[in-house]
């Protein structure tokens, strides 16, 4: 049989030959490492054997699916190494940290010391160097439950109560059996680059990023982001929700109204705290800048913040940053020659700074209005602000100090809004928050913009690239971070987004991504839409928000 590669090359071999063998012959080691392959448009593990003529496209660490496979296999290596070194400990792969890393902890014993983390790092590298096989097999769900009970994996036993299929794919490495959501590498030898380092109260599992698969990113600290995760854990304890199985239990037990109302109250409490902090600085703060990645709920957050600011005697004035775009012919271009509207230099920063200073000084300003049809800036309304008015502006560059260098720093209050946490499937299977934002955007694009799920997924990689360049590097510049994630939201989104994903054609990268999203949504029980309050941030995506048309009238 023959394997046809996307570049036109054809390799022949006996039936039953693994994809891994073909890739090893066809793919240069100088290119990004191959983690899997698309076989006739369907994602396949390298261990899969080929029994007929197929078209194959390698999936590398530079692809999102390839990086997920690398991280997933690395997490399994971590679990095995901890099991061998510290048999009484259980690993929790908790959440990601910006720029390539997962925060992990051990349970059942005191936190690992720096020396023990060093031992763990060494053992993982030893197992990787030994190129140990990672073996997949399908077992009946009942068999898997018995196996995980024997291993003490109660989190997986609880999760499997909600398994719809009769079988479960499990993986084995050095005698340890585990379930992982998604495909794995065929052996540990592919795990060529990683590091484990202390990060109290746990440790970091570091790995390369997609853009640079042969190097670890620079070591950085994110104290404000870490504080958000500590806050999230406290919220989970209040709501008694620890993972997907406990959320499903709450739905089955009729406790969801309590969970939703408490979660929304925690959101409102956090927004009120931010408004109080701004109010306590009212003598200095005149400009509030809000930034965050796509589908973080920035619009609803801003409106709820406005309500809280009004309650503190402050009148916000919304300044639309998009009106400060340069005329289209002056807009910078990207490497492909296209207009780069996300670049900082796409904005007329000198004019923006001048207008802000004039508004803050109480001078009359003729604001611009950008005409997106002809790409030209026009003259808008004339405005003069009173002393009790604070300017509120939302935009992707809000945390970049080069946006408003002329404004005194103590006059600015910066807020970072993002879905920073997510409910994990179990102790070893985390759901990336980017998946939550993608599902939000798929639903919003379908309801308000007329885009299909396929077109939204097609653009998503480009959207994320812009976030990595223009937003994430500046997130620690924020005075405060707001975690817009809601613990119950995937249960609400599930019945609305599933039909949109099922419409995607059965081939290509968008289909692969749709199947992955559908697969993890199957673990969630649905939650009725009518339980969601009408001022919830989630209403920005599912519709029915009381804040949709809300704005502060001029006085």
Q: Do 45 and 148 belong together in one domain?
A: no
Cβ within 8 Å of residue 27, ≥6 positions away: 34, 58
Q: Do 71 and 213 belong together in one domain?
A: yes
Q: Do 296 and 186 belong together in one domain?
A: no
Q: Do 93 and 15 belong together in one domain?
A: no
Q: Do 128 and 251 belong together in one domain?
A: no
What pLDDT score was predicted for residue 30? 67
pLDDT digits (tens, 9 = 90+) for 462-496: 899 889 899 999 999 999 999 999 999 999 999 99
According to DSSP, the residues that pair with 415 across neighbouring strands are 290, 480
- Per DSSP bridges, beta strands 202-206 and 389-394 are unpaired
pLDDT of 301 > 80? The answer is yes
- Give 370-373 contacts, CB < 8 A, sequence gap 24+: 370/322, 370/323, 370/324, 370/325
Structural domain span for residue 199: 66-221
Please classify residue 169 by burial: count the beta carbons closer than 10 Å to its beta carbon, then call 0-12 exposed, 13-18 middle and 19+ buried.
middle
Q: Do 439 and 472 belong together in one domain?
A: yes
* Mean pLDDT, residues 427-441 taken together: 93
Any domain includes 552: no
Q: Do 354 and 499 belong together in one domain?
A: no
CATH number, position 152:
3.30.980.10
Q: Do 40 and 113 belong together in one domain?
A: no
The last residue of a domain, from among 325, 356, 387: 387
Q: Do 75 and 162 belong together in one domain?
A: yes
Please report which confidence band the pLDDT of residue 555 belongs to, taking 50, 70 and 90 as the band edges: low
Supply φ then ψ for residue 185, to 5 degrees: -80, 160
Any domain includes 92: yes
Any domain includes 555: no
Report how far residue 149's alpha carbon sits from residue 86's, in angstroms, rounded to the nearest whole number.
Answer: 19
Cβ within 8 Å of residue 375, ≥6 positions away: 327, 328, 329, 331
Q: Do 503 and 458 belong together in one domain?
A: yes
Any domain includes 96: yes
The last residue of a domain, from among 387, 419, 439: 387
Any domain includes 547: no
pLDDT digits (tens, 9 = 90+) for 315-367: 999 999 999 999 999 999 988 888 888 899 999 999 999 999 999 999 999 99
Q: How many domains does the chain have?
A: 4
Any domain includes 380: yes
What pLDDT score was predicted for residue 144? 97
- Cis peptide bond upstream of 201, omega within 30: yes
Task: Kindly report the pTM of this predicted structure.
Answer: 0.93
DSSP character at residue 16: T
Handedness of CA 176, 181, 186, 190 (dihedral sign): negative
Any domain includes 449: yes
- The DSSP string of 516-527 is HHHHHHTTSPP-
CATH number, position 35:
3.10.20.30
Most confident of 97-101, 160-164, 185-189, 380-384: 185-189
Nearest to residue 148, comparing CAs of 90, 199, 70, 78? 90
Q: Do 243 and 233 belong together in one domain?
A: yes
Q: Do 302 and 414 belong together in one domain?
A: yes
- Per DSSP bridges, beta strands 101-107 and 90-97 are antiparallel
The last residue of a domain, from among 339, 372, 387: 387
Please report which confidence band the pLDDT of residue 443 belongs to, taking 50, 70 and 90 as the band edges: very high
Any domain includes 195: yes
Report how far residue 123's alpha carbon sits from residue 348's, in angstroms, rounded to the nearest whole number.
Answer: 54
- Whether 159 and 426 have beta carbons less than 8 Å apart is answered as yes
């Amino acid at each position: 049989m023959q394997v046809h590669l996307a570049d036109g090359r054809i390799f022949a071999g006996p039936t039953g030959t693994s994809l891994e063998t073909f890739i090893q012959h066809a793919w240069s080691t100088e290119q990004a490492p191959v983690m899997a392959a698309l076989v006739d448009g369907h994602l396949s593990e390298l261990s899969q054997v080929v029994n007929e003529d197929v078209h194959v496209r390698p999936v590398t660490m530079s692809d999102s699916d390839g990086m997920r496979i690398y991280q997933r296999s690395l997490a399994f290596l971590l679990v095995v190494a901890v099991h061998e070194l510290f048999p009484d400990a259980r690993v929790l792969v908790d959440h990601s940290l910006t720029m390539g890393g997962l925060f992990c902890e051990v349970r059942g014993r005191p936190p690992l010391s720096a020396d023990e983390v060093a031992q763990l790092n060494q053992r993982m590298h030893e197992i990787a160097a030994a190129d140990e096989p990672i073996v997949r097999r399908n077992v009946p769900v009942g068999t898997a439950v018995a196996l995980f009970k024997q291993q003490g994996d109660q989190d997986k036993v609880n999760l499997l109560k909600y398994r719809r299929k009769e079988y479960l794919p499990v993986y084995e490495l050095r005698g340890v059996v585990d379930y992982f959501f998604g495909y794995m590498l065929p052996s540990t030898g592919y795990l060529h680059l990683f590091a484990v380092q202390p990060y109290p109260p746990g440790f970091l599992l570091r790995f390369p990023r997609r853009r640079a698969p042969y190097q670890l990113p620079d070591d950085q600290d994110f104290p404000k982001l870490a504080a958000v995760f500590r806050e999230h854990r406290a919220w989970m304890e209040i709501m008694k929700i620890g993972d997907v199985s406990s959320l499903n239990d709450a739905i089955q037990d009729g406790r969801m109204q309590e969970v939703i109302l408490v979660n929304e109250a925690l959101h409102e409490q956090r927004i009120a705290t931010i408004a109080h902090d701004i109010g306590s600085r009212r003598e200095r703060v005149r400009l509030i800048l809000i930034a965050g990645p796509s589908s973080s709920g920035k619009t609803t957050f801003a409106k709820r913040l406005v309500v809280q600011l009004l309650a503190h005697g402050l009148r916000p004035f919304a300044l639309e940053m998009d009106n400060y775009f340069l005329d289209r012919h002056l807009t910078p271009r990207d490497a492909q020659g296209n207009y780069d509207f996300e670049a900082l230099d796409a904005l007329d920063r000198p004019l923006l700074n001048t207008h802000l200073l004039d508004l803050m000084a109480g001078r009359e300003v003729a604001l611009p209005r950008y005409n997106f049809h002809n790409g030209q800036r026009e003259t808008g309304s004339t405005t003069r602000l009173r002393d009790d008015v604070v300017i509120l502006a939302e935009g992707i560059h809000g945390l970049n100090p080069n946006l408003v260098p002329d404004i005194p720093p103590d006059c600015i209050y910066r807020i970072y809004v993002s879905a920073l946490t997510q409910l994990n499937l179990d102790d070893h299977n985390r759901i990336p928050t980017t998946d939550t934002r993608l599902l939000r955007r798929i639903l919003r694009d379908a309801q308000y913009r007329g885009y299909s799920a396929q077109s939204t997924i097609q653009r998503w990689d480009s959207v994320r690239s812009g976030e990595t360049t223009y937003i994430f590097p500046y997130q620690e510049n924020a005075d405060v971070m707001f975690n817009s994630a809601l613990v119950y939201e995937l249960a609400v989104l599930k019945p609305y987004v599933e039909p949109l994903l099922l419409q995607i054609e059965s081939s290509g990268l968008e289909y692969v991504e749709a199947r992955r999203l559908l697969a993890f949504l199957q673990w969630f029980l649905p939650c009725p839409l009518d339980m969601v309050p009408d001022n919830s941030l989630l209403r920005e995506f599912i519709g029915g928000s009381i804040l949709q048309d809300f704005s502060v009238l001029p006085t």
